[in-house]
Amino acid sequence: MLKARRFFGFLGNLLCDGMSKNQVKYIYEIPFMIWCSDSFLRKYPKIRSNIEMARNRPFMTDNVCQVLFHLGNIKTNYYHEERDLLSPNFTPRKRIIDEPYAYDSIINQ
């Protein structure tokens, strides 16, 4: 049986003025894991390298459907390669946690 699973946790939606970057990191960084069965990886060997390539890319869960389209080999007009974390053509975008706060500008202070 071919299997691929994804997991991402959710911690919160609150940002308060004066929070330290560590507080922001631990409230807003969430785990995102992709597990694939051996039979899935044998059938789709490029998936493993795509996952490894994506390991440290900045990503937001609002684009997780793009990853699922990729993993499921789903052909749809809603798929956008530049928003797919596993695509070689992925384009990182500004990660907003609450207007006007940009995640990366807080973490990289």
Low-confidence residues of the chain: pLDDT under 50 = 11
83: which DSSP letter?
G
Range(s) of the domain holding residue 45:
4-107
> pTM score, two decimals?
0.72
Facing residues of 96 across strands?
102
Residues 109 and 103: their CA atoms lie apart, in Å, by: 10
State both tokens at 33: 């894991």
According to the model, what pLDDT value does residue 51 have? Answer: 94
Count of domains forming the chain: 1
According to the model, what pLDDT value does residue 102 have? Answer: 78
